Structures are given as C-alpha cells and as structure tokens.
C-alpha cells in the first residue's frame, strides 16, 4: 500500500478500512476497541410557563415584555412540563449502522445530542433516564466522552476565510496529529512483522489523514478554496456540508452521530459518504447513527437498523429489513412506487391515510398510539432484554484498558495554544479590508489629534490631560469592532470545544496573543505620532513608559470586549453593553469628573475603573519627569501656587486631584495586568459553562399527553424550545401557549387560492460564461461557466441537475444578476428580448441556499413584507394577504405563522 491518500484509497473505502482494520486487529490480538450505547427510559423534558389566554399570541415586543414582567410579579403563573423526547429504551451496537428518521422538530437531534453528551441542560431542561457507554455512565467518563463519541451538527459553522484543507488539517492537529502513544504501545500481540506493519500503516495514515478525508468526501477539486459564507464566495453548499462531516472524522472515535448530513448534497455524494460510513462500521467495528430527512432508496438500504421519531415518540426501532412487515401488521402497506423512507416518514401524519389497507384492527393515527403499539411488539421486547442483559466482557475490558487511559485533550496546553494562534493569525491576516481600514483609522486619528494640539503647552494641564484622555478613549473605542468577529467565531468554538479539540483557556489565551501584531502596530503608529507631535516630555524613560502603558491598555480593552462578546446573547445586546461600558469608563475616568468632585457613594467606580488608572499613570509619567521637577518654570514660581506642591509637575497633578508619587505608575501597570487576567478569566468561565442557544418565540399547543401542570410564580420571557435548539438560559422563563388562528384582513375561505395576473415569460440563455480572477498571480482566470445554453418555458418546471460543485448555483446567480465580481459573457433573453438587470429583478424570485432573514420578524410578517413590496399596486391588499396565507399553507407553516424566525 502506497503511503499516500491515493495509495490508501486506490481500491476504495471498503478495501481501505478492511486493510487498516485487519492489520490493527492482528497486532492487537483481539477486536478493535468498541463502544455500545444503551439508553433506558431516556426522556428530555422542559418546564415552561403557561401564559394567560388573553395574552396567548404574545410576541416578544418591548410592551409585551414589560406587561408580562409586571403581571409576573403580581400573580402566580401555571407551568407545564413539555416532553421533547418521550421515554425510550434501546441500544446502538458496534458494527451496526442506524438510520434515524423523523420530521423536523420530531426530537431526533435532541436525542443524538443527549447520546453525545452535549445536550444543554439546566434546572428547567432535564435529561431523565440512563445512558451508558460500555456500562459506564456519562458522569463516570467525565470530560473524556468526546474522545469516543463524535457528533456532527446540522449547521455548517466554519471560518469562512480558511480553505477546506486548512480547516481539516486544524481538526486533525487538534485530534492529536500523531498516533496516540497508548495505541502504539498496544500493537505488540502479533508477530514482529505484523506489529511492524500495523505501526507503519497507522503512522502513515495519520501522516496523510487530512488528504484521505478530502479524497473520501470528494473534496479534491476544492481543497484549496476558501469555505466562504453568504457574503464571500467560496465552496458550494454541498461541499461545505462535506467539510462539516470531515471535520469530525479525525481521532480514533468509536461512535459517530451524524445529524442530517445529506442536506445540500446530491444523491450520489450522499450515497458515497454513507457507504464510507458503512465500511467503517463493518471493518472498524464502529457504532454509527445517522439522521437523514429523505434518504434515497439506495442510501436507505445501506443501514442495518432504523429508528423513527415523531413528536418525540419512537414509532419503531429495530432491523431495517423488518420495518415494512411490522407496519404491515399495523395495517399500513408501502406502495411499490413509494420510497420506503418516505413511507416511514408519512406514518403518524395525515399523509398516512393513503397507505391504509383493509384490516380487522383500527390503525393507529397519533404518534403516541404508534409508540404504545411498538412497546408491545416482539422487536421492542427483544431490545429491552438486550439492554437489561449484562455487558459483554470484551466491552467492559475496552472500557478499562482503552477508555480509561484516554486523556481529555489529545494535545498539551502549549500545543493547543500554538495551533490556535496560528489559525487565528491566518483568519486575521486574510481579512485585508479590516486590516487596511484599521491601520488607516489609527494613522488618521493620530494625525488629527496631534495636529489639533501640536506642541501643546505643558503649563496648560487641562489640554495635556485632554490629549491623554482622548488618546486613551481612541484605544478603547478602537477595540469595539472585534465584537462581531468574536460572536461569529463563538459558534465555531462551541462546536469544537464540545468535541474536545482544545480547552477553553487555550482558546481565550490564543485569541488574546493573536492581537499582539495589532497592539504593536497601533501602539507604534499612534503612540509615536501623538507623543512627538503633541509635544509630550522629551525624556526617553517617559517615552518608553508611555508606549508600554498604551500597549498594555490595548490588551486590556481587547480582553474586555472579548468578554462582552462571550457573555452577550447576540450582537444587538453586545453593542449597547459595549457603549454603556465605554460611557462608564469615560464618566468615572477622572477627567470629566475629577475624583474630589465625585460623591462618596460613587467614588468606588473611579477606583475600579481601568481608565482612571491609565490616566493617572500617564499623567504622572508626564509631569514627574525631571524637566518638570523644578520650582520655577518659565519664570513662574510654582512652589507658592498650591499648598503641599513644591514643583511645577506636582502642581499640575494636584490640580486634577492626582497623586504625585511615581510608584503609582507601577501600581497602574499591575492593576491593568490584573484586570486583563480577570477579564480573560471571566471569558473562560462564561464560554465553558454557558452556551447561548438559538432563542425564538415558541407558539405551541398544549397536549395532555405530554404536559403536566403545576403552579409556580416565575417571570416569563419568550424563548424557543424546539428539537434543534434548547436555550441554555433558564427555561422557566419560556412561554408555552396556545395560539389561536390569527385572523387576517380580507381572508375568506382557507382553500382560496389567489393568483395575480402573470405575464408568461420564456427564459433563454445562450453561451453564458463566468470567470473570476485567479488568486495565483500571473495565471489565467478561473472559468466557472463555459458556453452554457438553455431555456425554461412558461407552465413548466426545469430541473437543474449536477453533482455538488458542478456550477448549478453559479448559473442561477448569473441569470438572477447576483454576481457582483468576475466577468459574465453571453446572452440572457426574456421572451426573446435582451434582459436588463431591472427586468430580471422585477420578474424573477430567487431562493438562495443561504437562509438570511430578519430574525425579529415572524414567518407571516416576513411573507407579508415580501408580498406587499413584490406585487404591484394593482393587486389589492386583501389579495396580497390571502396569497400570504396560501403560501403558509403550501409550505406547511400555518401553525408557525406567528413564530419568530430567529434561530
């Protein structure tokens, strides 16, 4: 076998896994380490507050929030227990691959997160029942669980300026990068040749592991392309999803939980990925569960078991091959023309009526009825017997010999910091507009301040203090722009920290250290211009102390705003928090209001304010220089100006109630260093113990089968409690309400379909080409589209088909006029006429891959806004509103119409 990715995968993933698995098992003298997950009576519940009926349709407006807070203080509220996942018992066994099926918000994501040990719990959101891994509970494995169990999330969170290869190489480095020593030490039970071969194979695999993953996932053509996002062109949506899958493939993990990994993938790519997972299951004895929405028949057939969720209930959990016979016994038969997976997803919904056959028994209709019947089946009883049976001795031995010796993190603290600094610098340096604008701002503000107060008179202490204060204020405000990036990168941190890529402390420290280049450049540029042009004291010791204090201050306030970005739930909250903090720094900094003029009950703010310590240190540094330690300065005797002041410098300091001892300079630096450590420590604590979820407005109907009422007096604020995102904040504050149908003005019959008069348009495009400049200078442009021609007729639907990255989205972007860069050639025709940009925008609706919405709007409000602006004034308001309702019904969003899009 050639020691390269091509050599490992020359005969396909199946042969690759078979070779690696056989070599390792031969050298180990036993089967590879395995993990079996068992769960017994596992359920997830959330305690929610019931709103009053008169306030049922409560949106989180400022008025409603104030009203609910007031009413919450005046009267008690009832609470209900919402069961997100109903009690289930079962097991995921090694060497078997389980398909998890379920409609959105059915409970499957919450179930997988619970198994992975990353489900966010609180005093109001609880996981009940038992989950064991080879007989060990999650708390027993403590913080080492992510080293055995990986979870691939639905959402794709990546650094958009890093390439595919860089993203995967970083994940590989965080998972060790080299073969763990305890694994090499265990490869000694075969013959000398077998042991040597096993070590050679595993070491060679680790050396090229990122390349192997790239090739397995079909990312070779884009491995050097940045990932991109909604605002930056990068890889396609399907390729981004494959990066998400590949990121969690590293490390010798025995369990893989993959959540909706086929979203955005073509059927061939989805089959290849699932086929590779099946190969790993067979030959490496892994335990794999994959949640998919609509798997193709060939993908469905790859699985051993299937688990079906609906409204938190498990309708079936057992062999895939036995599923059709089981549901046939309940009176449901899958037609020959229907995919089995689609058939299974329709059960428990109104669509199930088409599958009912004549039977003596009444078929189940509700998910709870399906769950009750399944718990009476032989398949379920066999599963319960297995769960309650003793664990295999081999699995217990794996726990003792392998899992106990695995560390929480693969890398040392120093190595983690090194990798994180390297990545953070790459991210920063690739944001050229930010770097250029920041340097330009620093240079411009330094020149503006220093020229305005050119060679200031040291005897005018008000001017000197003002210049120092304004300089410090600039250094504070200049750190606020890091807030958006901190909050954007926070989601990536959550994902990678949950996977034990690195510790929280190493992440915070690396972020702080990566700001050194900025601190150095800005201190040198701004500090030098200000110091010499403004006319500060001509003393080398004072100059270097000035530069040092500015440098430390830069770090301090960078840490402060990093903390705000860590603790704030979103950017809309973080920015006001930042501005209020700046206001407090400024007011109690000792310049606008000097210390002696502050009230006794407010002066403590002055003493804890870092800005006051910096202002004091720089002022003493200026006026306690030898040049000003004289009684007579410019023919004026300062020893008689103020009692207790003997020199000109002391007089200037005492005028602003500042100390005159140079020791305060050292105290100031020490205090700044202490605050820097404090802010970073607080950031570590917040990031480690708190996860900001995707908050929203829950508008759900109460069901007697899933709720129990109790009385409690709690305040209420709206938060979303769904399958995909349970807020980490106390869910006592969530609102669980019954929302009546919202009457819409002008809406009549629910089945009414309103159609505006539409002019039929034939779209044609001929010889379309699209190219972008090559990042490698001197090389030809990259041709993304070449001579593409086609048409679409009125009354027809045209399917754009192709593998991920083939150019489908690029073609639609070009036709819709969404490409702002690069070169477009060819013709786009509407009814035979050359299409202008305005005509394209007026007659087309373009649904992009990225979901970009106004998060504070409800679904109905978002559609109403579009309906009002996209349709002409000839269409009546009633017709527009009716069309909104038709769209909600068509998209099956009627019940969620008054739910906020957020999250």
In the 3-class helix/strand/coil scheme, how is 734-764 assigned residue by residue? CEECCCCCCCCCCCCCCCCCCCCCCCCCCEE
What percent of the chain is modeled with pLDDT above 90?
44
pLDDT of residue 281: 93
pLDDT tens-digit map of 625-642: 888 888 888 878 877 777
pLDDT of residue 750: 44
Exposure class string for 617-656: b at 16+ Cβ within 10 A, else e: bbbbbbbbbebbeebebeeeebeeeeeebebbbbbbbbeb
pLDDT of residue 58: 60
pLDDT exceeds cutoff 80 at 612: yes
Rounded to an integer, the average pLDDT of 541-565 is: 94
pLDDT of residue 73: 63
Neighbours of 305 (CB within 10 A): 23
| Contacts made by residues 17-22, CB under 8 angstroms, sequence distance 24+ | 17/279, 17/280, 17/282, 17/283, 17/284, 18/279, 18/283, 19/201, 20/201, 20/202, 20/205, 20/283, 20/284, 21/283, 21/284, 21/285, 22/283
pLDDT exceeds cutoff 90 at 473: yes
Q: Are 691 and 118 in contact (CB under 8 A)?
A: no
pLDDT of residue 746: 43
Q: Are 227 and 235 in contact (CB under 8 A)?
A: yes
Rounded to an integer, the average pLDDT of 492-499 is: 93
Measure the CA–CA gap between 245 and 242, rounded to whole angstroms: 5
Q: Are 79 and 709 in contact (CB under 8 A)?
A: yes
pLDDT exceeds cutoff 90 at 864: yes
* Residue-level length of the chain: 903
pLDDT of residue 77: 61
Strand order in the sheet with 255-259: 149-152, 255-259, 287-292, 97-102, 305-310, 313-319
CA 659 to each of CA 21, 373, 612, 744: distance values in angstroms, whole numbers, following the listed order: 73, 81, 12, 69
Out of 81-85, 91-95, 522-526, 745-749, least confident range: 745-749
pLDDT of residue 550: 94
pLDDT of residue 706: 41
pLDDT exceeds cutoff 70 at 565: yes
pLDDT of residue 29: 87
Out of 74-88, 589-603, 681-695, least confident range: 74-88
pLDDT of residue 403: 78
pLDDT exceeds cutoff 70 at 23: yes
pLDDT exceeds cutoff 50 at 705: no
pLDDT tens-digit map of 375-390: 999 999 999 999 999 9
Q: Tell me the pTM.
A: 0.83
Specify which of 173-187, 523-537, 724-738, 803-817 reaches the highest per-range mean pLDDT.
523-537
pLDDT exceeds cutoff 50 at 709: no
pLDDT exceeds cutoff 50 at 24: yes
pLDDT exceeds cutoff 70 at 616: yes
Specify which of 455-469, 629-643, 841-855 reaches the highest per-range mean pLDDT.
455-469
pLDDT exceeds cutoff 80 at 78: no
Confidence of residue 477 (pLDDT cuts 50, 70, 90): very high
CA 84 to each of CA 39, 290, 308, 383, 678: distance values in angstroms, whole numbers, following the listed order: 16, 19, 15, 22, 39
Handedness of CA 118, 120, 125, 126 (dihedral sign): positive
CA 137 to each of CA 40, 144, 214: distance values in angstroms, whole numbers, following the listed order: 12, 12, 34
pLDDT exceeds cutoff 50 at 898: yes
Confidence of residue 74 (pLDDT cuts 50, 70, 90): low
Rounded to an integer, the average pLDDT of 580-594 is: 91
Q: Are 699 and 57 in contact (CB under 8 A)?
A: yes
Confidence of residue 402 (pLDDT cuts 50, 70, 90): confident
Out of 76-80, 213-217, 330-334, 605-609, least confident range: 76-80
Confidence of residue 620 (pLDDT cuts 50, 70, 90): very high
pLDDT of residue 728: 44
Rounded to an integer, the average pLDDT of 404-409 is: 82
Q: Which helix (H) or strand (E) holds 766?
A: strand 763-772
pLDDT of residue 817: 86
Confidence of residue 856 (pLDDT cuts 50, 70, 90): confident
Q: Are 214 and 54 in contact (CB under 8 A)?
A: no
DSSP letter (8 states) at residue 858: B
Confidence of residue 710 (pLDDT cuts 50, 70, 90): very low
Rounded to an integer, the average pLDDT of 278-307 is: 93
Higher pLDDT, 743 or 545: 545
pLDDT exceeds cutoff 80 at 744: no
Q: Are 672 and 614 in contact (CB under 8 A)?
A: yes
pLDDT exceeds cutoff 70 at 661: yes
pLDDT exceeds cutoff 70 at 354: yes
pLDDT of residue 723: 45
What residues contact 96, with CB distance under 8 A and at least 6 apart? 281, 287, 288, 304, 305
Confidence of residue 801 (pLDDT cuts 50, 70, 90): confident
What residues contact 184, with CB distance under 8 A and at least 6 apart? 199, 202
pLDDT exceeds cutoff 80 at 742: no
pLDDT exceeds cutoff 60 at 819: yes
pLDDT tens-digit map of 224-282: 889 988 778 888 888 899 999 999 989 888 999 999 888 778 788 889 999 999 999 99
Domains in the chain, start-ordered, CATH in brackets?
Answer: 33-148+253-368+705-740 (3.40.50.300), 419-689 (no CATH), 763-896 (3.40.50.300)
pLDDT exceeds cutoff 70 at 650: yes
Mean pLDDT value across the chain = 85
pLDDT tens-digit map of 119-162: 988 888 899 999 999 988 888 887 888 989 999 998 889 999 99
pLDDT of residue 6: 82
pLDDT exceeds cutoff 90 at 299: yes
DSSP letter (8 states) at residue 783: E
Rounded to an integer, the average pLDDT of 410-428 is: 93
Rounded to an integer, the average pLDDT of 555-565 is: 94
pLDDT of residue 265: 80
pLDDT exceeds cutoff 80 at 712: no
Rounded to an integer, the average pLDDT of 14-24 is: 90
pLDDT of residue 844: 85
């Amino acid at each position: 076998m050639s020691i390269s990715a091509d050599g490992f995968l020359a005969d396909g993933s199946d042969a690759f896994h078979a070779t690696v698995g056989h070599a390792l098992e031969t050298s180990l003298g036993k089967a590879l380490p395995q993990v079996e997950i068992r769960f017994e009576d596992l359920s997830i519940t959330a305690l929610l507050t019931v709103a009053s009926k008169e306030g049922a349709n409560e949106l989180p407006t400022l008025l409603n929030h104030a009203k609910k807070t007031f009413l919450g203080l005046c009267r008690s509220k009832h609470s209900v227990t919402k069961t997100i996942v109903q009690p289930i018992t079962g097991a995921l066994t090694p060497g078997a691959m389980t398909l998890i099926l379920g409609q959105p918000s059915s409970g499957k994501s919450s179930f997988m997160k619970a198994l992975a040990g990353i489900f966010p719990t609180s005093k109001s959101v609880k996981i009940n029942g038992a989950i064991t891994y080879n007989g060990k509970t999650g708390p027993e494995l403590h913080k080492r669980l992510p080293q055995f169990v990986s979870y691939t999330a639905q959402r794709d969170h990546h650094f958009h300026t890093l390439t595919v290869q860089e993203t995967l190489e970083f994940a590989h480095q965080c998972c060790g990068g080299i073969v763990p020593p305890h694994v090499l030490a265990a490869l000694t039970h075969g013959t000398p040749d077998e042991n040597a071969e096993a070590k050679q194979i595993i070491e060679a695999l680790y050396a090229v592991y990122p390349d192997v993953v790239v090739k397995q996932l079909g990312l070779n053509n884009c491995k050097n392309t940045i990932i991109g996002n909604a605002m930056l062109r990068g890889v396609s949506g399907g390729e981004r999803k494959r990066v998400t899958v590949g990121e969690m493939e590293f490390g010798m993990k025995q369990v893989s939980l993959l959540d909706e990994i086929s979203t955005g993938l073509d059927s061939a790519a989805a089959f290849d990925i699932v086929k590779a997972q099946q190969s790993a299951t067979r030959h490496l004895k892994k335990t794999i569960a994959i949640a998919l929405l609509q798997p193709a028949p060939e993908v469905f057939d790859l699985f051993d078991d299937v688990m079906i969720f609906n409204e938190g209930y498990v309708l079936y959990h057992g062999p895939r091959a036995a599923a059709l016979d089981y549901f046939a016994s309940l009176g449901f038969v899958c037609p020959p023309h229907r995919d089995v997976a689609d058939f299974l997803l329709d059960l428990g919904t109104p669509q199930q009526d088409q599958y009912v056959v004549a039977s003596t028994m009444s078929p189940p209709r509700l998910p709870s009825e399906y769950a009750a019947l399944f718990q009476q089946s032989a398949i379920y009883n066999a599963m319960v017997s297995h769960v309650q049976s003793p664990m295999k001795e081999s699995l217990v031995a794996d726990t003792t010999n392998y899992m106990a010796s695995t560390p929480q993190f693969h890398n040392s603290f120093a190595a983690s910091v090194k990798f994180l600094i390297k990545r953070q610098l790459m991210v920063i340096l690739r944001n050229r507009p930010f770097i250029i604008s920041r340097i330009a701002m620093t240079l411009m503000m330094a020149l503006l301040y220093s020229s305005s107060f050119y060679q200031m008179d040291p005897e005018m202490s008000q001017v000197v203090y003002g210049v120092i204060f304004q300089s410090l204020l600039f250094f504070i405000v200049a750190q606020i722009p890091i807030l958006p990036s901190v909050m954007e990168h926070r989601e990536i941190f959550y994902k990678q920290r949950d996977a034990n890529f690195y510790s929280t402390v190493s992440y915070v420290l690396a972020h702080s250290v990566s700001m050194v280049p900025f601190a150095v450049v800005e201190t040198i540029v701004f500090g030098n211009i200000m110091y010499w042009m403004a006319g500060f004291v001509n003393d080398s010791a004072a100059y270097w102390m000035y530069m040092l204090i500015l440098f430390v201050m830069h770090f301090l306030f960078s840490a402060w705003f990093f903390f705000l970005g860590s603790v704030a739930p979103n950017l809309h909250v973080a920015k006001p928090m930042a501005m209020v903090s700046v206001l407090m720094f400024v007011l109690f900094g000792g310049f606008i209001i000097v210390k002696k003029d502050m009230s006794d009950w407010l002066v403590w703010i002055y003493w804890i304010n870092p800005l006051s310590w910096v202002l004091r240190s720089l002022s003493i540094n200026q006026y306690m220089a030898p040049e000003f330690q004289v009684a007579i300065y410019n023919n004026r005797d300062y020893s008689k100006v103020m009692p207790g002041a003997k020199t000109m410098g002391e007089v200037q300091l005492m005028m602003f109630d500042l100390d005159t001892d140079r020791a305060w300079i050292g105290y100031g630096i020490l205090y700044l260093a202490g605050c820097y450590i404090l802010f970073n420590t607080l950031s570590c604590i917040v990031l480690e113990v708190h996860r900001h979820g995707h908050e929203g407005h829950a508008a759900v109907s109460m069901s007697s089968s899933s709720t129990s009422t109790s009385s409690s007096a709690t305040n209420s604020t709206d938060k979303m409690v769904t399958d995909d995102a349970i807020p980490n904040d106390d869910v006592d504050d969530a609102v669980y309400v019954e929302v009546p149908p919202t009457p819409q003005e002008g809406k009549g019959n629910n089945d009414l379909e309103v159609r505006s008069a539409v002019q039929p348009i034939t779209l044609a495009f001929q010889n379309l080409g699209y190219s972008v400049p090559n990042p490698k200078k001197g090389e030809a442009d990259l041709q993304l589209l070449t001579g593409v021609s086609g048409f679409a007729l009125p009354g027809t639907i045209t399917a754009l088909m192709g593998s991920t990255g083939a150019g489908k989205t690029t073609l639609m972007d070009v036709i819709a006029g969404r490409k702002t860069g690069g070169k477009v050639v060819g013709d786009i025709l509407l009814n035979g006429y050359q299409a202008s940009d305005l005509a394209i925008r007026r007659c087309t609706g373009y649904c992009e891959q990225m979901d970009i919405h106004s998060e504070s709007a409800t679904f109905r409000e978002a559609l109403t806004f579009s309906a009002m602006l996209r349709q002409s004034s000839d269409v009546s308001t009633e017709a527009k509103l009716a069309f909104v309702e038709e769209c909600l019904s068509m998209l099956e969003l009627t019940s969620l119409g008054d739910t906020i899009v957020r999250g």
